[in-house]
């Protein structure tokens, strides 16, 4: 345990969680060997410290140590960065260049985010691990290197293998000794130690009093999930230190700085390229009007059924033929059916009601399909059948216009 404490002090590792101590212990034990190590853990857990521990306690500690972020190098240049290239190997290669594996000979190379490597690069990396051989880009000469490889990833490599994004043979070659770094939410009171360390460091750096937490704020700090792990805790500690004037941080203040990743998310609008998508606000309006018309038809059918069942006590007058016509038009029932239903009912005015002859008003057709067809015809006539211009006039896409023309047989 004494050795672990000295390692923590040397490399700035804070915490007493058993999983963290176990990871340090494995790193120290594997350091004197040349075995490949794969470090896994969520983003922000501090995986980059452990390759330094391994290198410092290995026989290669006097050799070169190079850390490479594989996810930050473009796919087109990753091979050149790792293995070097010859002059004229590609556009811009004005001179030969050594790669990291050549520079780190007799030393250690740390491949962070190794799962981001392209499959073609993974093949070259596997060859280096198995034979110690590599070839520069644009060369046919085989070169040798003696490098200790330590890799890290924050993704589930097993799932990456299932989706053909990572080579299984490379995984087993890298995973000779696995080290798993625990997430912050599992480390219990280590969270308080880290918070205090970040708060003190920031206060000393900017010469201000250090912040402290109330008891309720401590409970919140412990119960939070910390999806960003140690990196997120450090950022939030620094934010509170510089923004808040009060040095004692309450539950409410701390809660305002903790993003809620468990709340209800608003639905995202996703554009779909199919016949059911709406290409403009006008089509959305058409859809709303169509739904309203359907609701009105349902309501009229309901009223007619209530009249037939006798729940509405009225008698049909001989002069009310307009009602029959409206029912026929709006409900889609046949003339004989509606007329028979109407004659079986009794439309009678309430006592004292003064009945006057009224002029029948013929309503304009509100059929959405008819209106839409009429607008399309007018647009096509206006532009002499040029569908592209007609579609622009209507505010819809050409694809939608073609579908409408076919649908309405225009």
Q: How many helices (H) and strands (E) does the chain have?
A: 18, 9
CATH number for region 185-257: 1.10.8.60
Show contacts of 244-247: CB within 8 Å, 24+ apart.
244/211, 247/209, 247/210, 247/211, 247/212
Q: Are strands 133-135 and 142-144 parallel, antiparallel or unpaired?
A: antiparallel
Provide the pLDDT for residue 296.
Answer: 78
Provide the pLDDT for residue 317.
Answer: 44
Q: Does domain 2-182 have CATH number 3.40.50.300?
A: yes
Torsion angle, alpha carbons of 152, 11, 182, 160, to 10: -10
Q: At what angle do helices 321-331 and 281-309 cross, to 10 degrees?
A: 130
Show contacts of 200-208: CB within 8 Å, 24+ apart.
202/237, 202/238, 202/241, 202/242, 203/241, 206/241, 206/242, 208/241
Q: Are strands 177-180 and 37-40 parallel, antiparallel or unpaired?
A: parallel
Distant-in-sequence, close-in-space partners of 91: CB < 8 Å, separation ≥ 6 = none
Domain ranges of the chain: 2-182, 185-257, 281-343, 368-408
What confidence category does residue 354 fall into, taking pLDDT thresholds of 50, 70 and 90? Answer: low
Q: Tell me: the pLDDT tens digits for 292-337? A: 777 777 777 777 777 766 655 544 444 455 555 555 555 555 555 5
Cα separation of 55 and 321, whole Å? 97
Degrees (nearest 5) of the Cα angle 172, 122, 138?
A: 145
Q: What number is the average pLDDT over the span 89-95?
A: 86
Q: What is the mean pLDDT of the chain?
A: 83
Q: Are strands 148-153 and 37-40 parallel, antiparallel or unpaired?
A: parallel
As beta bridge partners, residue 134 has 143
Cα separation of 145 and 135, whole Å? 11
pTM value is: 0.62
For residue 212, give the 3-state DSSP assignment. Answer: strand
CATH number for region 368-408: 1.10.10
Q: Tell me: the pLDDT tens digits for 123-152? A: 999 999 999 999 999 999 999 999 999 999
Q: Are strands 177-180 and 212-213 parallel, antiparallel or unpaired?
A: unpaired
Cβ burial of 171 (10 Å; 0-12, 13-18, 19+) is: buried
Provide the pLDDT for residue 213.
Answer: 95
Structure tokens at 80: 């050149």
> Residue 115: pLDDT above 60?
yes
> Residue 364: pLDDT above 90?
no
What confidence category does residue 246 fall into, taking pLDDT thresholds of 50, 70 and 90? Answer: very high
> Residue 118: pLDDT above 60?
yes
Q: Tell me: the pLDDT tens digits for 277-293? A: 444 555 666 667 767 77
Q: What number is the average pLDDT over the span 176-181?
A: 96
Q: Which residue has the tokens 């002859």?
A: 357
Cα separation of 144 and 133, whole Å? 5
Q: Tell me: the pLDDT tens digits for 250-266? A: 999 999 999 875 543 44
As beta bridge partners, residue 65 has 108
Q: Tell me: the pLDDT tens digits for 149-164? A: 999 999 999 999 999 9
């Amino acid at each position: 345990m004494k050795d672990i404490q000295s390692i923590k002090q040397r490399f700035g590792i804070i915490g007493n969680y058993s999983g963290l101590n176990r990871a340090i212990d494995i790193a120290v034990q594997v350091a004197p060997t040349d075995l490949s190590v794969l470090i896994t853990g969520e983003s922000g857990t501090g995986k980059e410290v452990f390759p330094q521990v391994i290198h410092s306690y290995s026989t290669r500690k006097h050799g070169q140590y190079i850390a490479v972020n594989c996810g930050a190098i473009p796919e087109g240049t990753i091979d050149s960065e790792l293995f070097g290239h010859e002059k004229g190997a590609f556009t811009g290669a004005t001179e030969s260049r050594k790669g990291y594996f050549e520079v780190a000979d007799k030393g250690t190379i740390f491949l962070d985010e190794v799962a981001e490597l392209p499959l073609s690069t993974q093949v070259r990396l596997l060859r280096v691990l198995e034979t110690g051989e590599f070839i520069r880009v644009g060369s046919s000469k085989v070169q040798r290197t003696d490098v200790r490889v330590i890799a890290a990833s924050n993704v589930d490599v097993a799932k990456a293998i299932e989706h053909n994004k990572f080579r299984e043979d490379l995984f087993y070659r890298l995973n000779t000794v696995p080290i798993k770094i625990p997430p912050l939410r599992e480390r219990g009171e280590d969270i308080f130690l880290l918070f205090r360390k970040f708060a003190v460091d920031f206060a000393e750096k900017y010469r201000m009093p250090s912040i402290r937490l109330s008891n309720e704020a401590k409970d919140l700090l412990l119960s939070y999930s910390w999806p960003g792990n140690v990196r997120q805790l450090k950022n939030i500690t620094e934010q509170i230190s510089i923004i808040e004037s009060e040095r004692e941080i309450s539950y409410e203040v701390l809660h305002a700085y903790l993003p809620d990743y468990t709340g209800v998310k608003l639905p995202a609008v996703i554009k779909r390229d199919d016949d059911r998508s709406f290409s403009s606000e006008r089509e959305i309006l058409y859809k709303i009007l169509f739904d309203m018309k359907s609701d009105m038809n349902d309501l009229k059918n309901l009223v007619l059924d209530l009249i037939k069942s006798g729940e509405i006590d009225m008698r049909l007058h001989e002069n009310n033929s307009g009602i029959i016509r409206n029912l026929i038009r709006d409900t889609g029932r046949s003339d004989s059916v509606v007329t028979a239903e109407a004659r079986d009912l009794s439309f009678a005015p309430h006592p004292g009601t003064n009945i006057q002859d009224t002029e029948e008003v013929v309503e304009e057709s509100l059929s959405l399909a008819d209106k839409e067809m009429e607008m399309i015809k007018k647009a096509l006539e206006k532009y002499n059948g040029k569908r592209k211009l007609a579609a622009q006039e209507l505010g819809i896409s050409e694809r939608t216009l073609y579908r409408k023309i076919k649908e309405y047989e225009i």
